[in-house]
Amino acid sequence: MALIIDTLKAKSKPKAAPKLPENYAPHPTAQTWTRAQVDALFALPFMDLLLKAQTIHREYHAANKVQMSQLLSIKTGGCAEDCGYCNQSAHFDTGLKASKLMDSDVVIAAARKAKAGGAGRFCMGAAWREPKDRDMDALCEMVSEVKAMGLETCMTLGMLSPNQAERLSQSGLDYYNHNIDTAPEDYGRVISTRTFEDRLHTLNLVRESGMKVCCGGIVGMGEQAEDRIGLLLALANLNPAPESVPINALVPVAGTPLGDSKAVHPIEFARLIAVARIMMPESYVRLSAGREEMSDEAQALCFMAGANSIFVGETLLTTDNPSESEDRTLFARLGIEGE
């Protein structure tokens, strides 16, 4: 099973960390990080931190190469969860209209267009607490057809049952995305309809089925600096660490509880990317939501800090994303190529 070590229970402020299951114990050969070690990384002078992160990045990844993924919302809105950042929750009035699951042929056409545009991975997201068994045939068909195009495949569908995870794996799904969103100590402030342990349970099922894990979080939700440290500790001390780590900057949406949250400063965001790269050297660290609000300079800092994956396409689920021409221009200025 995926593992969370005891250091996740450390408290740097008077918040009660959730009780983790007893069977979450460190593997004897797993590298683990302590809060003190991560504190020390965040305390480094910014330029020293970037140099360290970029040096490590080049040991594990090709320089000046960025993976391009595209994400399609295959079922939008009406979600039963109450994630305080999400305009797709049925709990909040954000004006977003709920839709049914897309037909497979529409999804497959979108994947074909994404590949023609340079995407190497195609991700499909459905706003569900968990998929219904009646939807699994259609979902597995989408996976197998997209996989047959030569694209890496990824889905995010909420929580899974063991049988559902196994079916997705057998259909050829490469990655399953299930973000932990924030530090375990901060989790209850953001979401009440499922627990941090629920997240871990689904991640365990993904690992056991043979799929790779895509798991990250969101910053700019009103969290404290120590919560960002807790987020990275929780991610890096999974065993193994997620192969793909999306770092999202909250795109505030009116009508959601966190819609008036203050954005994280670009330098602090790049610092987070750099520490993630150092702690998870083999992982893809992806700039995800929020790039539309980032300047070219802020994105350049993040690439210098070790980010090597982005989402392309003008829409990221339900929020805006930089256009293909904007990304092409930025890559040309930086001498970056798509992987």
- For the annotated catalytic residues, the residue numbers are 79, 83, 86, 123, 154, 214, 286
Phi-psi domain of 195 (left: phi exceeds 0; alpha: psi -120 through 50; beta: other): beta
**How big is the CA angle at 326 (ends 119 and 275), to the nearest 5 degrees?**
70
3 state SS for 158-191? CCCCHHHHHHHHHCCCCEEECCCECCCCCHHHHC
> Any idea what DSSP says for residue 77?
S
Q: What are phi and psi of 274, to 5 degrees?
A: -65, -45
Instruction: In whole angstroms, give the CA distance from residue 22 to residue 69.
Output: 37
Q: Are 206 and 165 in contact (CB under 8 A)?
A: yes
Tokens standing for 231? 């987020």
Tokens standing for 85? 């950042």
**CA distances in angstroms from 112 to 74, 102, 109, listed in the order given:** 15, 15, 5
3 state SS for 295-314? CHHHHHHHHHCCCCEEEECC
Q: Are 7 and 233 in contact (CB under 8 A)?
A: yes
Helix H or strand E encompassing 246: strand 244-249
4, amino acid identity: I
Residue 88, CA atoms < 13 Å, CB-side half-sphere: 21
DSSP per-residue string spanning 252-286: --TTSTTTTPPPPPHHHHHHHHHHHHHHSTTSEEE
